[in-house]
Structure 1
Amino acid sequence: MASALVFLIVFGIVAAFWSAHRAAAEAALRIGRNACAAADVQWLDQSVQLAGMRLRRHPSGWIGIERSYHFDYSRAGDDRHRGRIVMLGSELREFVGPGRGDAEPLAFPRAG
């Protein structure tokens, strides 16, 4: 009986973490897509990539998970710039990308 209760508690914690993770990723996706549309730039790859997670204190004092996401966009079609979105829970904490911040073009080594 006790092992079933422990299993349910662990399962509940994992499910809550997964749900919060998906909510933050979907919010970052919307923010990146909307920022590219508003700046009239091409949003490349149609996705955001999780770049890192860490514990961070909310302004209310509670500890939460801060997630950093990267996304790529192009201004002219032949360049590639990297944007950054930082979410604390489901709240936007930082944005660097088209229209705000200074995102540098990505440099790729040439073959040959």
Structure 2
Amino acid sequence: MGDLATLLLLLVLMAIAGIWLVLSRARDRAIQEARRRCQQHGLQLLDETVGLSGVRLRRYRGQRVLERRYSFEVSIDGDDREAGHLWMIGSVLTALILPTVELYTPEYPAHETSTAEGTNVVPFRRQYRDRDIRH
């Protein structure tokens, strides 16, 4: 009976080591993907690492599979830290969320953008349509 218990314990330890190796390889692949996508979008991957932040069951190509969510931090201009996320099934990237930079700021009339001095209240801006804007 003692030999059977030892064998089962050894099998469980081998299974844990195997799962750890698979997840380690998947994390390395996620780091490569995050680095590549950040470089592609002009962002800096901070700490050069990702962390597993979630797992969910998802239907993919007609099968139920585990999809892993990795979180990481990026910098847009070197002075900030923004969150990024990517989802992977195996070594396939299925979704990516990166922070965006507002490149275009529309011009609004001066009376709508001013705030009262000494307050932290910011007024809502009216949504302009093309026909509402007078040139």
Instruction: Determine the structure 1 residue equivalent to 2:113.
Output: none
Higher relative contact order (CA 8 A, sep 6+): 1
The answer to whether the Cα contact below 8 Å between 1:64 and 1:89 also exists between their aligned partners in 2 is no
Shift in Å at residue 70 of structure 1?
Answer: 0.9
Instruction: State the Cα RMSD in Å.
Output: 2.1
- Deviation string, structure 1 residues 43-101 (Cα, Å, up to 9, x no partner): 2122112211234444352x54322111111122223221111112332221112xxxx
Instruction: Determine the structure 2 residue equivalent to 1:85.
Output: 86
Shift in Å at residue 28 of structure 1?
Answer: 0.7
The answer to whether the Cα contact below 8 Å between 1:81 and 1:104 also exists between their aligned partners in 2 is no
For structure 1, which runs of at least 5 residues remain unmatched after alignment? 98-102, 106-112
Instruction: Determine the structure 2 residue equivalent to 1:45.
Output: 47
Larger Rg: 2
CA distance in 1, matches of 2:58, 2:11: 24
The share of aligned pairs that are identical, in percent, is 33
Instruction: Determine the structure 2 residue equivalent to 1:94.
Output: 95
Q: Does residue 24 of structure 1 match 2:26?
A: yes
- What is the TM-score when the length of structure 1 is the normalising length? 0.73
Q: Which amino acid aligns with 2:29?
A: A
Q: Does residue 59 of structure 1 match 2:61?
A: yes
Shift in Å at residue 30 of structure 1?
Answer: 0.4
Question: Residue 58 and residue 2 in structure 1: after superposition, are their counterparts in 2 closer, same or farther (change >3 A)?
Answer: farther
For structure 2, which runs of at least 5 residues remain unmatched after alignment? 102-135
Q: 1:7 aligns with which of 6, 9, 18?
A: 9
The answer to whether the Cα contact below 8 Å between 1:84 and 1:96 also exists between their aligned partners in 2 is yes
Aligned length: 99
